[in-house]
Amino acid sequence: MSPARSSRKRYQEFVEDYKHRRLDQVSDAEEAGPAPASPRPGARRAYLRGYLRWLRPHRYALGGVFVLALVVAGMQMIEPLFIRFIVDHVILNKSLDNAARLSRLNLTGFLFLLVVILSHIGGGFKDYRQRILNVRVMLSLRRSLYERLLHLPLARLWEMKTGGILSRLTGDVETTTGLLQMAIVSPAISVIRLIIAIGILIALNWQLALTAMAIIPGVMVLSLIFARRIRPIYRSVRKDVEIVDGRVGETFSGIRVVRAFRQEIQELISFMLGRHTVLRKELFAHRRELLLWTSWGLLEAGISVVIVWFGGYLNIVGRATVGDIMAFQWYMFLLLNPVWNIVNSFSEMQRSLAAMERVFEVLAEENDKPDRPGAGDAPALVRELRFENVTFEYRDGQPVVRDFHVAVPGGSVVALVGRSGAGKTTVTDLVARFHDPTRGQLLLNGTDIRDLKLRSYRDLLAIVQQEVFLFDGSVRDNIAYGRHDATDAEIQDAARRANAHEFIVRLRQGYETWIGERGVKLSGGQQQRLAIARAILASPQILILDEATSNLDTESEQLIQASMADLLADRTTFVIAHRLSTIRRADLILLMENGAVIERGTHEDLMRARGVYYEMVKRQMESHARDGDEILR
């Protein structure tokens, strides 16, 4: 969210879109736009059906909550009848002596108190069971959403950003769960209570009932129409919160860069502008809700005045008793309360529906590279990995890898070299099946890897990248991330082979030392050695080393390479490296330029050919000779 555009300007654009009913048509492709595009009506109905399917396993618990709500509503419906009986048949009943009136009052008062107590206890128990049901639905929904997010295409995850992912997993799921109460339980119970209250009112005095209820239908319809327009506002708010939270995540992930370029104030301004826009939109919605709430408050007060006024007239002319008037007052509260609950449920439901659309939009998406019908398990041993005329494009017509053809025997080491942007990492991403070829195919032992189950294929892999990612946990947990069943001896052996054991045992708590988020408590070289140890412990058939030793000093790199000799044996390894010492022992070197292989062979073959590779090595050796470091860039 750019600070260049003030929150006031964005808010004014938002209000204009709202006034002209364009809010639902605003494209969420515009980062600073007021709201994401509204889902198609058919999609929205599909999302609602999906939500109902989520509730199906909880139908018995939902039924129990519904029965409890009905029992409580029934007890509340008879409470005004006690008031009417006490006033008309006890207090104002002159035909009974004082002792009889007192006895009847005590008995009726005791029953009245018992009904009130039971209704409140039942209401509390119903709320508790409702909360348990909400939690179960929330956990189930959150689990499925998290699982789907883990398997979405990388491009979609990058599009959503960290803030969008967290927003859906936390606030959106919790708000979506509110649909259980707002769209199902509360409206259903309110309708039943409304029908019962109207029936009792008409039975007591139809004239007074019709007078009191005459204005309710019109006001209710207007309220529903009014509340319907609030949903786009909350959808827009959720989108803005996602953008702001995403920016916060980026800021603190890159806090070193922020401080190095002295951007603390600028990031603070950006954060406050974003939050200010969110606050303005929330107040915009609140003003409209406040108008609705105020109207209903006036309606309740007006109806009470009408009941007393017209009821007094009916009492004077002998058509209504004092007990009728008092019971009517209570019943009108019981009547307006479910009406208000229906309207308020619809208003609150707008937030839940906006959140539900965002959650089920993700759940409706296809997993990244779903297994083909009849896909088989990957072989236990890699005999050959063959690229057959592979071309890959991130965007149509812009190939990043083109006409890539190479056969890699199992157990061999392939080094990929070339300038930045030559396509080296994309080739390894194809091997890891983070992407599938746009054209051509990648064969494992003669079988297209797309015909293998993705999970079983990736069981063959281990990756060490230049940008090491470690989790906020212990050293032991990070090394054993790919093999949670590894023994202490296996973990320590992997650390020794990665030249990491010595620095680990010097840490305060050794292998139990907590290394912080992304391993911030370790140096860059230490982080990389842990990543290498993690790959060693996984004992993969296919190993990808993407600048795996770039953050190591020369001595540590030599120690690691010596200890990794047995790791590379009988394992198919793809190495991306700039250091000559890392690649010169490779069985095959592929020099890439603009996504294509322009030279291939062993180090000796390419040096004898005196081509581009030879010139690159020569230039680098000359420029770095004085430093005693061999780097191939």
pLDDT band at residue 40 using 50, 70 and 90 as cut-offs: low
Residue 153 has what pLDDT? 81
pLDDT over 90 at 555, yes or no: no
Cα-Cα-Cα-Cα dihedral sign, residues 330, 333, 339, 344? negative
pLDDT band at residue 100 using 50, 70 and 90 as cut-offs: confident
Q: At 37, phi and psi to the nearest 5? A: -65, 140
pLDDT over 70 at 241, yes or no: yes
Strand partners, 599: 591
pTM over cut 0.85:
no
Residue 600 host element (H or E)? strand 596-601
Residue 30 has what pLDDT? 34
- pLDDT tens, residue by residue, 159-215: 777 767 777 888 788 877 777 776 677 777 777 777 777 787 787 777 767 766 676
- pLDDT tens, residue by residue, 587-618: 999 999 999 999 999 999 999 998 988 888 88
- pLDDT tens, residue by residue, 463-518: 887 777 888 788 898 898 888 888 999 999 888 888 888 888 988 889 988 887 77
pLDDT over 70, % of the chain = 82
Contact 589, 606 (CB under 8 A): yes
How many Cα atoms sit within 13 Å of 333 on the Cβ side?
9
Q: Which residue in the block uniquely carries the two structure tokens 């491009």?
A: 155
Higher pLDDT, 327 or 120: 120
Q: Which residue in the block uniquely carries the two structure tokens 């007052």?
A: 329
Residue 34 has what pLDDT? 36
Superfamily (CATH) of domain 463-539: P-loop containing nucleotide triphosphate hydrolases (3.40.50.300)
Q: Which residues contact 211 (CB under 8 A, 6 or more apart)?
A: 306, 310
Q: Which residues contact 317 (CB under 8 A, 6 or more apart)?
A: none
Q: At 205, phi and psi to the nearest 5? A: -165, 105
**Distance between CA 355 and CA 352 in Å, rounded?**
5
Determine how many CB atoms are found less than 10 A away from the CB of residue 46: 14
Contact 179, 355 (CB under 8 A): no
**Distance between CA 414 and CA 574 in Å, rounded?**
5
Long-range contacts at 389-394 (CB < 8 A, ≥ 24 apart):
389/439, 389/440, 390/430, 390/437, 390/439, 390/440, 390/441, 390/442, 391/437, 391/438, 391/439, 391/440, 392/426, 392/430, 392/435, 392/437, 392/438, 393/438
Contact 506, 562 (CB under 8 A): no
Q: Which residue in the block uniquely carries the two structure tokens 């309360």?
A: 337
Selecting from 3.30.420.10, 3.30.70.1150, 1.10.730.10, 1.20.1560.10, what CATH number does the domain 8-26+37-363 have?
A: 1.20.1560.10
Q: Which residue in the block uniquely carries the two structure tokens 């045992």?
A: 505
Residue 453, both tokens: 């189950």
Q: What is the mean pLDDT of residues 530-541?
A: 86
Determine how many CB atoms are found less than 10 A away from the CB of residue 254: 14
pLDDT over 50 at 299, yes or no: yes
Instruction: Report CA Rg, the chain.
Output: 35
Contact 183, 47 (CB under 8 A): no
Q: Which residue in the block uniquely carries the two structure tokens 């291939």?
A: 600
Higher pLDDT, 249 or 540: 540
Burial level of 285, CB count in 10 A (0-12/13-18/19+)?
buried
Q: Which residues contact 52 (CB under 8 A, 6 or more apart)?
A: none
**Average pLDDT across the chain, whole number:** 79
Which residue ranges does the chain devote to CATH 3.40.50.300? 463-539
**Distance between CA 230 and CA 18 in Å, rounded?**
10
pLDDT band at residue 633 using 50, 70 and 90 as cut-offs: very low
SS3 of 394, please? strand
Which residue ranges does the chain devote to CATH 1.20.1560.10? 8-26+37-363
Q: What angle do CA 317, 322, 326 make, to 5 degrees?
A: 130
Cα-Cα-Cα-Cα dihedral sign, residues 156, 160, 166, 172? negative
**Distance between CA 404 and CA 406 in Å, rounded?**
7
- pLDDT tens, residue by residue, 17-27: 665 555 544 33
Q: Angle at which helices 524-538 and 488-497 pack, to 10 degrees?
A: 120
**Distance between CA 236 and CA 74 in Å, rounded?**
40
- pLDDT tens, residue by residue, 257-280: 787 777 888 888 888 888 888 888
Residue 577, both tokens: 């490296």
Contact 271, 68 (CB under 8 A): no
pLDDT band at residue 407 using 50, 70 and 90 as cut-offs: very high
